[in-house]
Structure 1
Amino acid sequence: MTSATSAASAASATAAPGWEDLVTSALLGTERRTPPGCAPGRDAPAALLDAAAVETVRRRAGLRPARSAERLAPAPDDHRPALPQAAARRLAMLLTDRPGSGSGGRRGTTPDLMELLPQWLAAANDRGFAAPPPSLPALLDAARGRTDLRPAALTFAGPRALWLARLNPDWRFALRAAPGGDASLPRPEDTERVRELWQEGLFAERVALLASLRARDPAEARELLAGTWATERAEDRLMFLDSLRTGLAAADEPFLEEALADRSRNVRSTAAELLSALPGSALAGRMAARALTCVWVEGIRTSAAITVEAPHECDAAMERDGVIPKPPTGRGERSWWFGQLLEATPLGAWSGRLGGRTPEESVALPVTDDWQSELHAAWCRAAVRQRDAAWARALLGTPTAPEAGGPGAVSLAERAKLLGILGAGERAEWVAGFIATHGLSEAFQLLGVCAIPWAAPLGRAVVDALNIARDAGNYPWSFSGVMGLAERCLDPGEAGRLDGLLAIPDESEDAAPGAGGYWAEAFQRLVSTLRLRAAMAEELGPAVPVTPRPAAARSPVPTPRSTSSSPPA
């Protein structure tokens, strides 16, 4: 380099300040620090901006060109019909809504659009529509934040959701959640790839593979698991074993019997639970033999009572069959063992032991020595595990019984589980009778298991109970959870019947301050939401039979969340 060139370069460096100098001057202000090469004074800010523009061009010009990236494969086509324009606009509104952060339980009269999104997606999927491409990013973002949305959102989004998920790490959940959607999962008939992924895949990939196979070919999935069972880690064996709940059948019994001898107590307990759900299994027979020696009937037919003699020890055979020897804190050992035996005993075994009595007659028998709650609670768990509707009805009793607990169920959670065994119509009728008798104070969990939209008798029972609570001057925020459920679950056709509840009622002296205004707002929001749901359905058009879609684009539709609002006090 010549001396002239060196001098020119030095002069250029002096005249052109570096980027860091320009940033420092901009932060401190030109009055406190004038950048090099700029004269102080009124023109210094403009000179700073000019220098920044020149330096920006210099920095960009100094970048070296890089090799162009490989062209992306185009997104797959979605051949389903496009959404009607009105429905597409509605979807955009649902995806951009952000619930307000009101205080004190007051939400105003505006419907909560995000809580209506699950129902909108279910309706759109029923009609077989494809998602508008511009809405896919917002739809995937919504599903990322709410796992309850994922099955319906991914069904609606279709194959393009998987294409996008491979480009954005934030949406990778779609590859795991979409049934058959992960391209890394081989088809069941590709046995070589199945074995390779099972032997060499990551744990999450192996879990997904086993779940996919179990849904399509339970026997093949079980054989795949059995081939490597002895070499798996205990925590992995537990997760893999849990996948057998899908398609559980008598053919799984030999494998589960072997799992009863597993080194891990949790694995043994899970295997025992699965076997006890098979009433014809050898384990169910062994547990029945033990349980039947603990329970018998004494006295004549008209004054009979159940006598209980709980086990005095938990031997090795009981422990192998899944009985956990150490009880939780505060629970007696004998009652703990007794409950586990009865929970795993086939309910069909009790008729012979209790003198040929029906489930209703068995539950109605008195139980000596304060064992009734333990006995009935164990029968409740057995009915839920074995999906026995006859015993569920007996343990629930009539909804108008004086005691809200029913003859057998001892908690709201147990009643909800028992109701889940019954058909949708019977479930709604029972809950409607319960609300009519006992009000809404204990009905929130029970409403959560009812089919949507609520049947007309159940909807009327809920609205009538809310109206009674308002007229009684009850504290209104205690019913915000039920009101939120009503917004999502009432039949939209009920909106016209509620117009008489929109006025602010006269407040009694003992009513909560401001309660009348709250109730009016809540009923206005309820009516507005029902009418909005009716408009949403009209925009989507009538439901029509849909041509079955490929498995990669199909998924179950979730029930809208029933716990987004606070439960009643």
Structure 2
Amino acid sequence: MKAWEYVINTAMLGTDKQIPSPADLPEEITGVAALIDASETADKEVKFLQKAAAIYNYRQCGFTPLEQKELPVHTASPETSPYCTEAASAILSDILNEEPTALLGLWLSHCHQTGKILLPDVLPAVLDVALKDKSLQPLAVACCGNRGLWLSGLNPSWDYFSTVSDKELWQTGKPDERAGALEKLRTTDPDMAREWLQQTWPQETAASKADLLKTFRVNAGAADQDWLESLWSEKGQKVKEEVVYLLKRIPGSSIIKLYEGVLREAVMLKKEKALLGMMTKVSIQFKLPSRIDEAIFKSGIEKLSGQKSPFSDEEFIIYQLIESVPPAFWEQRFEAAPAQVVQYFEKYAPAMTGALGMAVSRFKAASWMPYFLHLDGFYVDFIDFLNPPEQEKYLLRFFKPDPRNAIHYALQLKQEWSADFAITVLREMANYPYEYNRASFNKHIRLIPVTIINQVKAIEPKDLNLLNTWAKNRDHLLKLLRLKQQTLNAFNA
């Protein structure tokens, strides 16, 4: 349409350019254009804008929609599972309004466990939330039924319904998808995961090599040792650092043997007769050998303790070596059972007991852990090896000396807290209302039992200046707990 071209050109070049003649205008608006031109009060800019408005509206009204005959119509397959109840769906709507993904995960989990699916009207909202939080996607797929599958074909953003095998992701996926597939396989078949990476290793970039090697932190073991030892010649510094990290966690590796060789010379358990042979005097003596292989320090052992360290440089080196060898080494070195070894350290080398505890954590020596639970050191890696009551009992020991750190690890527990433990944690949280706020409760509501609703109402911070802020957080927590309770009741959980 020439008239519309006139509008565009004039807007870009100015109204001093030649204006279109009536012949250039559609017949339907020539009369309107004539009236505009006849105006004696309007200048040419106003006349241009008035004509542009008339031409624009004419142009818009003149469009007709595209007609395509025999357009295929796709409909969702009939549902094979029953819908959840209207009451349960209403609770879901309330949860979506509050935006706590943890509570949404709980709702979807119970919906899936009872064999129900979502009512159609909430599908788009749930699919959008799962798009942002990938941890919800498996449950969303399970609970959205055939209608959800159908909707995913109409919106590319919801393409997570399509399943791709881990092997296909490994071969064709993005870097993070390949790493995820390899890490997942490491949990079930570490040998196969190692073979996958060995096959593609020559083609990997230095950056991808380092990232993919990090997946070997899952189930790193003796079977990986030979291949990891062969990677010493790699040029990439990050690759070498990751290789060292992994080998330092595999008993029997060349690095561990190097450490153990030094400790055999540096640490001596001496037993001497005293009081005419009627008693035995026991001591642990520490003395580094005069010559130490420089590879020890290239592997990450620091030479200097630092000005504020309670250790001398020599003691600091020994401390690092003790925390870097498997605890079983001391069973052989001291010819004693784990309980006796811990007693030796605690009584005759208390400053080094923490290093032994760190070694227990590093090498996941579960049989040694019970002998450290009563000691002062806080070994966070022990928590995963304890049953739920023991986890809470262990964490409770550290709430007085270090409440914020204890809360941090309490929030990482996998199971719902007991009522007494929950009250203890919340009482401490009340003292830090800016840190443990609405967003924090949204994220961790799965941990807090609904049985403590009445007790939560009475929790207050020690500093009354924080009461107003905490009260807002507490009200939000109570709302979440009620939604959680309603969810459990809706599914008879």
Q: Give me the TM-score of the superposition, normalised by structure 1.
A: 0.62
SS of structure 2 residue aligned to 1:259: helix
Which of residues 428, 440, 457 is equivalent to 2:392? 428
* Cα distance change of structure 1 residues 145 and 9 upon mapping to structure 2, 3 Å threshold: same
Whether 1:385 and 2:362 are equivalent positions in the alignment is yes
Cα shift readout 1:186-207 (whole Å, capped 9, x = no counterpart): 7x6xxxx79xx73x76645644
Cα shift readout 1:37-61 (whole Å, capped 9, x = no counterpart): 96xxxxxxxx987664322123x25
The answer (yes or no) to whether the contact 2:342–2:353 under 8 Å persists in 1 is no
Tell me what 1:449 maps to: 412
Tell me what 1:15 maps to: 30
SS of structure 1 residue aligned to 2:23: helix
Q: Within 5 Å, give how 1:204-353 maps onto structure 2.
A: 204=176, 206-207=178-179, 209-211=181-183, 213-214=185-186, 217-279=189-251, 284-298=256-270, 304-309=282-287, 315=293, 317-318=295-296, 322-323=299-300, 338=318, 341-353=321-333
Taking the aligned partners of 1:341 and 1:164, their CA distance within structure 2 comes to 58
Whether 1:139 and 2:126 are equivalent positions in the alignment is yes
The answer (yes or no) to whether the contact 1:342–1:378 under 8 Å persists in 2 is yes
Cα shift readout 1:316-353 (whole Å, capped 9, x = no counterpart): 65478x44679899899867765654344111112333
Letter in 2 for 1:55: R
Give the deviation of 1:536 after TM superposition.
1.2
Taking the aligned partners of 2:291 and 2:109, their CA distance within structure 1 comes to 52
Which of residues 24, 48, 57 is equivalent to 2:61? 57
* Cα distance change of structure 1 residues 295 and 150 upon mapping to structure 2, 3 Å threshold: farther
The answer (yes or no) to whether the contact 1:452–1:490 under 8 Å persists in 2 is no
Taking the aligned partners of 2:469 and 2:93, their CA distance within structure 1 comes to 30
Tell me what 2:380 maps to: 416
Taking the aligned partners of 2:371 and 2:235, their CA distance within structure 1 comes to 39
Cα shift readout 1:367-426 (whole Å, capped 9, x = no counterpart): 38xxx2xx455434432332223444444425xxxxxxx1x34xxxxx433323322221
Taking the aligned partners of 1:202 and 1:446, their CA distance within structure 2 comes to 32
Give the deviation of 1:222 after TM superposition.
2.2
The answer (yes or no) to whether the contact 2:258–2:296 under 8 Å persists in 1 is no
Tell me what 1:83 maps to: 84
SS of structure 2 residue aligned to 1:426: helix
Taking the aligned partners of 1:334 and 1:260, their CA distance within structure 2 comes to 28
Taking the aligned partners of 1:34 and 1:278, their CA distance within structure 2 comes to 82
Letter in 2 for 1:387: K
Whether 1:489 and 2:447 are equivalent positions in the alignment is yes
Letter in 2 for 1:91: L
Percent identical residues? 21
Tell me what 2:346 maps to: 364
SS of structure 2 residue aligned to 1:296: strand
Q: Which moved more, 1:345-354 or 1:293-302?
A: 293-302
Cα shift readout 1:225-262 (whole Å, capped 9, x = no counterpart): 22232343222222222333445444333322323443
Q: Which has the larger radius of gyration?
A: 2
Whether 1:130 and 2:117 are equivalent positions in the alignment is yes
Give the deviation of 1:492 after TM superposition.
1.0
The answer (yes or no) to whether the contact 2:407–2:425 under 8 Å persists in 1 is no
Tell me what 1:119 maps to: 106
Whether 1:93 and 2:94 are equivalent positions in the alignment is yes
* Cα distance change of structure 1 residues 236 and 353 upon mapping to structure 2, 3 Å threshold: same
The answer (yes or no) to whether the contact 1:94–1:117 under 8 Å persists in 2 is yes
Letter in 1 for 2:195: E
Cα shift readout 1:70-113 (whole Å, capped 9, x = no counterpart): 96977688755433322222223322335xxxxxxxxxxxxxx4
Taking the aligned partners of 2:407 and 2:478, their CA distance within structure 1 comes to 20
Give the deviation of 1:538 after TM superposition.
0.9
Taking the aligned partners of 2:220 and 2:71, their CA distance within structure 1 comes to 47
Give the deviation of 1:356 after TM superposition.
1.8
The answer (yes or no) to whether the contact 1:297–1:304 under 8 Å persists in 2 is yes
The answer (yes or no) to whether the contact 2:416–2:447 under 8 Å persists in 1 is yes
Give the deviation of 1:366 after TM superposition.
4.5
The answer (yes or no) to whether the contact 1:314–1:325 under 8 Å persists in 2 is no
The answer (yes or no) to whether the contact 2:93–2:122 under 8 Å persists in 1 is yes
The answer (yes or no) to whether the contact 1:276–1:344 under 8 Å persists in 2 is yes
Letter in 2 for 1:83: C
Taking the aligned partners of 1:349 and 1:480, their CA distance within structure 2 comes to 43
Give the deviation of 1:537 after TM superposition.
0.8
Tell me what 1:44 maps to: none
The answer (yes or no) to whether the contact 2:326–2:359 under 8 Å persists in 1 is yes
| Count of aligned residue pairs for this structure pair | 453
* Cα distance change of structure 1 residues 516 and 419 upon mapping to structure 2, 3 Å threshold: same
Which consecutive residues of structure 2, in runs of 5 or more, have no partner in the other structure?
Answer: 1-19, 37-41, 273-278
Taking the aligned partners of 1:141 and 1:513, their CA distance within structure 2 comes to 41
Tell me what 1:537 maps to: 488
Give the deviation of 1:134 after TM superposition.
4.4
Give the deviation of 1:152 after TM superposition.
5.1
Give the deviation of 1:477 after TM superposition.
3.4
Whether 1:477 and 2:433 are equivalent positions in the alignment is yes
Cα shift readout 1:162-213 (whole Å, capped 9, x = no counterpart): 87667656556x48xxxxx543x47x6xxxx79xx73x76645644554465
* Cα distance change of structure 1 residues 150 and 7 upon mapping to structure 2, 3 Å threshold: closer
